[in-house]
């Protein structure tokens, strides 16, 4: 897909991978609708517009979708489901509220946003949905059972969806990033973001690569990991 002039919806736009992806899309000429609870600081661009939206709320998602089409245009070409969070803890002491919060954000939010854009993408017979899972969506991690459960759900949803919509000209790609320098680790005891991790820009650049694939194929699953655990 040539991204010039294409409308892209991006959730979780304020920081990290979301912010980097917004900047990468803008650099390719896309029109970006950033959805989130807070706007990215300092991101000013004539082709960027922020829409306040809590993806956990289906009504808020529908309102953001209607507002996006009214302000930017009816056709929606790209959806990047990036909004998410991780909370660690042992299962027998884990907060049920935190468990629900992760599922509401990481899984239900992805579903609400995808459900909103699909009718238009099917009508135009073109679209690309990017879902951000995690390495935690491919393997279990001690004290991260809840987060892993949500990211396994993203994986299953993505792999099912691409088979469902591939004949409608819609691509679905699921990303599984490993350790990345974002604020994700702020709430994970014992781990801090460091220079041996991937950068948000690395993920963003690969998202662009996936979006720019020719019409006749798409990348279904992309796993990304740091090259080395040690700085050189």
DSSP 165: H
Among 59, 63, 66, 141, CA closest to 108: 59
- pLDDT category, 197, cuts 50, 70, 90? confident
Of the ranges 182-186, 197-201, 217-221, the best mean pLDDT one: 217-221
SS3 129: strand
Strands (E), 48-195: 48-52, 78-81, 127-132, 170-177
Q: d(Cα 3, Cα 51) in Å, to the nearest integer?
A: 21
The pLDDT value recorded for residue 185 is: 46
The helix (run of H) or strand (run of E) holding residue 10 is strand 7-11
Positive/negative CA dihedral, 102, 105, 106, 108: positive
Among 218, 165, 223, 220, CA closest to 198: 223
Domains of the chain (ranges, CATH numbers): 57-224 (3.40.50.720)
The pLDDT value recorded for residue 191 is: 59
Catalytic residue selected from 147, 162, 176, 209: 147
Residues 113/154, Cβ–Cβ less than 8 Å: no
Positive/negative CA dihedral, 212, 217, 218, 223: negative
Tokens 């993920």 appear where? 203
Which two structure tokens, joined as six digits, stand for 182?
């974002």
Q: d(Cα 86, Cα 122) in Å, to the nearest integer?
A: 32
User: Which pLDDT tens digit goes with each residue over 149-164?
Assistant: 999 999 999 999 999 9
Is there a catalytic annotation at residue 162?
A: no
Residues in CB range of 149: below 8 A, 6 or more apart: 103
The pLDDT value recorded for residue 189 is: 56
The pLDDT value recorded for residue 186 is: 46
Angle between helices 200-211 and 16-27 (to 10 degrees): 50
The helix (run of H) or strand (run of E) holding residue 88 is none
The predicted model scores a pTM of 0.92
Q: d(Cα 38, Cα 42) in Å, to the nearest integer?
A: 12
């Amino acid at each position: 897909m040539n991204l010039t002039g294409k409308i892209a919806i991006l959730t979780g736009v304020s920081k990290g991978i979301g912010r980097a992806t917004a900047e990468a899309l803008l650099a390719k000429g896309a029109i970006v609708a950033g959805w989130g609870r807070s706007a990215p600081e300092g991101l000013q661009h004539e082709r960027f517009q922020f829409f306040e939206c809590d993806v956990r709320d289906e009504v808020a998602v529908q309102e953001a979708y209607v507002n996006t089409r009214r302000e930017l245009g009816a056709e929606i070409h790209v959806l990047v489901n990036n909004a998410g969070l991780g909370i660690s803890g042992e299962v027998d002491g884990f907060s049920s509220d935190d468990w629900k919060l992760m599922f509401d954000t990481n899984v239900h939010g992805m579903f609400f946003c995808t459900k909103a854009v699909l009718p238009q993408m099917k009508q135009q017979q073109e679209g690309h949905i990017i879902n951000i899972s995690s390495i935690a969506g491919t393997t279990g991690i001690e004290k991260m059972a809840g987060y892993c459960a949500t990211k396994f759900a993203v994986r299953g949803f993505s792999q099912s969806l691409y088979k469902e919509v591939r004949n409608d000209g819609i691509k679905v790609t699921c990303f599984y990033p490993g350790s990345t320098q974002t604020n994700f680790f702020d709430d994970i005891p014992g781990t801090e973001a460091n220079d041996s991790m991937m950068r948000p820009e690395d993920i963003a650049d690969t998202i662009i690569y996936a979006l720019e694939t020719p019409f006749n194929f798409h990348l279904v699953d992309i796993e990304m990991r740091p090259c080395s655990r040690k700085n050189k």
